[in-house]
Amino acid sequence: MNKIYCRTESLTEKRFSYCSGCGHGIIHRLIAEVVDELKIRERTIGIAPVGCAVFAYDNWNFDVTEAPHGRPPAVATGIKRCLPDRVVFTYQGDGDLAAIGTAEIIHAANRGENLTVFFVNNANYGMTGGQMAPTTVIGQVTTTTPFGRDAKREGYPLKVCELLSSIEGVCYLERVSVSNPKNILKAKRAIKKAFENQVEGKGFSLVEVLSQCPTDWGKTPEESIKWIDDVLVKTFPLGIYKECTKK
Amino acid sequence: MKGNIALCEGAISAGCDAYFGYPITPQNEVPAHMSRMMVELGRIFIQAESELAAINMVLGAAACGKRAMTSSSSPGISLKQEGISYLCGCELPCLIANIQRGGPGLGNISGSQSDYFQATKGGGHGDYHIIVLAPYSVTEMYDFARLAFELADKYRTPVMILSDGVVGQMMEPVEIVGSGKLEVGSSDNNKNDWKLDGCKNRPPRRICSLLMAENALEAHNWHLKEKYDKIEKDEVRCETFQTEDAELVVISFGITARIAKSAVTKLRKENIKIGFIRPITLWPFPKKIISDAAGKSKKILVAEMNLGQMVEDVQLAVKNRCPVDFLGKPGGGIFTENEIISKIRQIL
């Protein structure tokens, strides 16, 4: 019998602690697969965020540290500048990256830090029970927008790829989703590209991943997938937002 | 040499690998000097986008086993408290220099000592302490930068140099005795056992302060307590001056101690039985030395450039064995020698 699919080396035996239908497990695995395909596990240092994915360090089988909420790009900068031949990435949610950590992400991008950022956008704060995130879409009900997000009261969803695309120091920006196998394969290609850019010294790369959060969305896993494809992508269109050609 | 420059030179001599900072008066000479020196030496310098980012860059550099530092002044140090708490939770060594200015709020830019509580009681959240060194001369800015890195590594802990705008801006001759590594005693801490540099030929490591498993945080807190007890036992540094027969002992730290010592020297010439104690480590606090002095003298005077902060630690050490008087100067401003002398004459 041929084994055609198994745990990749960069994932530990520890079970994911995520709810059923959550996108984090898929994204963790894609990152681990790419790290192994690029044979960089022994020189990779990851930075886990505050939020549901804080326990990522239990699942990844390489060096990992954690950062205060919003600060992973600063911690990553400290590590990468000291160890330029290691591969350093941050894994951040929408509250972390697009609310409390906006200064850190913009300035890491603007310095053109040779880092890889995975930005998981599930349009709400998952760990704390589903509050409004900067990326919550208009009309979306959360525990802190019980009447639905109203632009007059809560402002508009923050579009991170669009925002960062004007920054000169940025090398690569792509928005993907993990809502179906086709999109998952595309997401993996983007993740690989973002790591390759760092290995080749091309500079700051960020992959935004639209990810499902059934528990806090109050939807079934199946409805959540559909909601990404039908609703979320309208506010956050998938695609490449920037790709540098420089060597 | 200026105090702030001596701080830089001491840190560079100690092998500081990376400096991360943000402009704020009265410490601007530090990032300016480091921006040139560190780059020329092929080391790391980044002007961060905020004090929050700077302290977290320190966290990153420290997590990979490098000697990292940041500097700021009071309002900026408040912003760094989140990071300092994480550094303590993660047990990461680093140097943080606070060139204090007046507060609260934006305050002013004159030298002050009003961050004593913040520095010594744990200005951030959670149960922790950092080692706090208070220099009173430009030479000590140099020496304590070297000492701070050694103590930080010895105990895997952040060390703060609590200086002030006066010492930072002051210019005086510096006596440099030795450079490079200082001997501060043996330590169990070996960076090669914990630093993050990729899991080649070893199991993966993690550095984190989130301990959610049952009793894990409590066990970690007790481990930290054990470390803090050892620091309190072994690392108290203090200067005493003519306390043996003193009927009045003046206790001050930092720049105030410099002035108080001069006042005490003058009064000794008048055969007034007066002595002087200068805590050099504000944490660990020289409780026993002060307690012993309180047993022998009739009165203690604490002078500091704030509304009364270190005086509380002195009172705890004295335990009512003799009266503790206080002379304070808030609002960012320095004592004159005469102010201290008149207060002493008044209470003698």
Q: Provide the domain count of chain A.
A: 1
Instruction: Collect all residues of chain A within an 8 Å Cβ-Cβ radius of residue B202.
Output: none
Decide the pairing of beta strands A44-48 and A63-66.
parallel
pLDDT in tens, A12-33: 999 999 999 999 999 999 999 9
Instruction: Collect all residues of chain B within an 8 Å Cβ-Cβ radius of residue A36.
Output: none
> What is the overall mean pLDDT for chain B?
96
Contact A82 B60 (CB under 8 A): yes
Domain assignment of residue A63, yes or no: yes
Domain assignment of residue B107, yes or no: yes
- Domain membership of residue A103 as a residue range: 24-128+161-243
**Alpha-carbon distance B278 to B303, whole Å?**
11
Contact B56 A106 (CB under 8 A): no
Domain assignment of residue A14, yes or no: no
Provide mean pLDDT across the span B36-53.
Answer: 98
pLDDT in tens, B272-294: 999 999 999 999 999 999 999 99
Nearby residues of B202 by Cβ (< 8 Å), 6 or more positions away? none
pLDDT in tens, A100-111: 999 999 999 999
Instruction: Collect all residues of chain A within an 8 Å Cβ-Cβ radius of residue B206.
Output: 57, 63-66
In chain B, whose CA is at the least distance from the CA of A82? B61
Q: What is the dihedral of CA B256, B259, B263, B266, to 10 degrees?
A: 160
Mutate to test the interface with B, among A45, A90, A111 (most CBs of B within 10 A): A45
Distance from CA of B260 to the nearest CA of A (A): 41
Domain assignment of residue A147, yes or no: no
Q: Which of A48, A65, A78 faces B68 most closely, judged by CB atoms?
A: A78
pLDDT in tens, B168-216: 999 999 988 877 778 888 888 899 999 999 999 999 999 999 999 899 9
Q: What is the pLDDT of residue A101?
A: 98
Q: What is the pLDDT of residue A246?
A: 60
Whether the CB of B343 is below 8 Å from some CB of chain A: the reply is no
Domain assignment of residue A229, yes or no: yes
Provide mean pLDDT across the span B302-311.
Answer: 98
Is the pLDDT at A245 greater than 80? The verdict is no
Distance from CA of A49 to the nearest CA of B (A): 11
* Strand residue runs (E) in B134-291: 158-164, 206-207, 238-241, 248-251, 274-279, 281-283
Domain assignment of residue B192, yes or no: no
Domain assignment of residue B310, yes or no: yes
Same domain, B164 and B25: yes
* Strand residue runs (E) in chain B: 18-21, 44-47, 68-72, 94-100, 131-133, 158-164, 206-207, 238-241, 248-251, 274-279, 281-283, 299-304, 324-328
Query: Would you put residue B238 in left (φ > 0), alpha (ψ -120 to 50) or beta?
Result: beta
Chain B residues 197-256 with CB within 8 Å of chain A: 197-201, 204-210
Instruction: Collect all residues of chain B within an 8 Å Cβ-Cβ radius of residue A41.
Output: 199
- Domain membership of residue B271 as a residue range: 238-347
Last residue of a domain, one of B147, B169, B191: B169
How long, in residues, is chain A? 247
ipTM: 0.96
Distance from CA of A38 to the nearest CA of B (A): 15
CA atoms within 13 A on the CB side of B168: 26
Domain assignment of residue B71, yes or no: yes
Last residue of a domain, one of B125, B141, B169: B169
- The CATH number linked to A56 is 3.40.50.970
In chain A, whose CA is at the least distance from the CA of B85? A68
**Alpha-carbon distance B212 to B224, whole Å?**
17
Q: What is the pLDDT of residue A77?
A: 98
Contact B210 A66 (CB under 8 A): yes
Same domain, B165 and B22: yes
Q: Provide the domain count of chain B.
A: 2
Same domain, B136 and B244: no
Nearby residues of A149 by Cβ (< 8 Å), 6 or more positions away? A132, A136, A137, A138, A139, A140, A142, A157
Nearby residues of A235 by Cβ (< 8 Å), 6 or more positions away? A137, A138, A157, A159
The answer to whether residues A197 and A137 touch, using CB atoms and an 8 Å cutoff, is no
pTM over 0.80: yes
Mutate to test the interface with B, among A41, A57, A61, A75 (most CBs of B within 10 A): A75
Q: Which of B17, B56, B208 faces A82 most closely, judged by CB atoms?
A: B17
Domain assignment of residue A98, yes or no: yes
Closest CA to A78 of B204, B195, B27: B195
Distance from CA of B133 to the nearest CA of A (A): 25
Last residue of a domain, one of B143, B169, B195: B169
Domain assignment of residue B247, yes or no: yes
Q: What is the pLDDT of residue B284?
A: 98
- The CATH number linked to B251 is 3.40.50.920
Domain assignment of residue A75, yes or no: yes
The encoded tokens of residue A188 equal: 């993996």
Same domain, B146 and B15: yes
Distance from CA of B67 to the nearest CA of A (A): 10
